[in-house]
Structure 1
Amino acid sequence: MWYSPQLTPPQVVERCQQVLTHAWMVRTFIKHGEEVEDFPELMVIVRGVFDLSLALESRIENPKDYFQMLKKKLSRFRKAVAEFRDDAFNASTHTNFHQAVASIEVCLADLEELLQIGQKSLANSETGPL
């Protein structure tokens, strides 16, 4: 576990937003790369990051809604990351693509871990101390 389980729900939301900035950079790299012309399937990750970011940005002030939406959107994002992993290496063997795949996989893993922490933290804050 990378993150402290003692994070408050707003802190978890803030960290998720920070993780999404890294995903956005992968999106930007792919979206503006020449390889997209020959490998339009790379756009799956571009759309996946955009969809996830857009769905979450309006819920930043409400951790409960934020975590519910993150949970809902993670399965689609997980599929986009898996497709990107396969498609990126078909498009190019350049180190930039290897790093983009590694980066987006870290983003996914972090978001999954943060969701678990956020849900537990939210449940604890709603029930209060034992």
Structure 2
Amino acid sequence: MSPTEAVSRSNTVLAHAWMVRTFLKHADEIQDNEDMLDVPRTLYDSIRAVEPAFQRGDHVDFLRRLRGKLPKLRRAAQHFNTHFREFSPHTNYEMAAASLLGVVGHLEEIFAAVDWNEVAALAQANPGRKTADGASSTDPLDDIEIPEV
């Protein structure tokens, strides 16, 4: 799969994650539990972390950032799937858990199919590329998590 197709597919999958995040953000049942609140926060952080790269059309940075967020997304989805019944057995929560697991599964499939040689070639073709704020794309500050406001 080309980097362009991987970014397009990943962005669509992240749209599903954003809808789950919105549902959970407004779910009264989980508001008093920090562990469960970490789920929508992780979704927010992960999606917003790749947004600038998507807007710039920087497929290398998008894929690098999202691949780095995948372990956190996996842990959040698994935690939510394991614990949502403690807060509500409602079908909405069950479907949100299934959706999050699906998001992670689809992202894993996309990353398994990406032509990483093509991604590396793109990175080498433009080694001095800059992020939207003018910093080098290898800036260590790139990995700072963005808190939800």
Same fold by TM (over 0.5)? yes
Structure 1 contact 39–91 (Cα < 8 Å) conserved: no
Check the 8 A contact 1:70/1:115 in 2, yes or no. no
Whole-angstrom CA distance in 2 between matches of 1:76 and 1:88 = 18
* Contact 1:56 1:69 (8 Å CA) reproduced: yes
Which residue number in structure 1 is paired with residue 26 of structure 2?
32
How big is the alpha-carbon RMSD for the aligned residues of Structure 1 and Structure 2? Answer: 1.8
CA distance in 1, matches of 2:60, 2:32: 41
The answer for unaligned runs of 5 or more in structure 2 is 123-149
Letter in 2 for 1:23: A
Q: 2:97 aligns with which of 96, 101, 105?
A: 101
How many aligned residue pairs are there? 119
Matches within 5 A, 1:1-130: 7-60=1-54, 61-118=57-114, 120=115, 122-124=116-118, 126=121
Secondary structure of the corresponding residue to residue 93 of structure 1 = coil
SS at match of 2:74: helix
Higher relative contact order (CA 8 A, sep 6+): 1
Q: Which amino acid aligns with 2:60?
A: K
| Deviation of the 1:38 alpha carbon | 4.3
SS in 2 for 1:101: helix
CA distance in 1 between counterparts of 2:20 and 2:118 reads 34
Task: Flag structure 1 segments of 5+ consecutive residues without an equivalent.
Answer: 1-6
Aligned 8 A contact 2:53 2:59 in 1 = yes
TM-score by length of 2: 0.72
Tell me how far apart the structure 2 counterparts of residues 92 and 39 of structure 1 sit (CA, whole Å). Answer: 13
Identity over aligned pairs, percent: 32
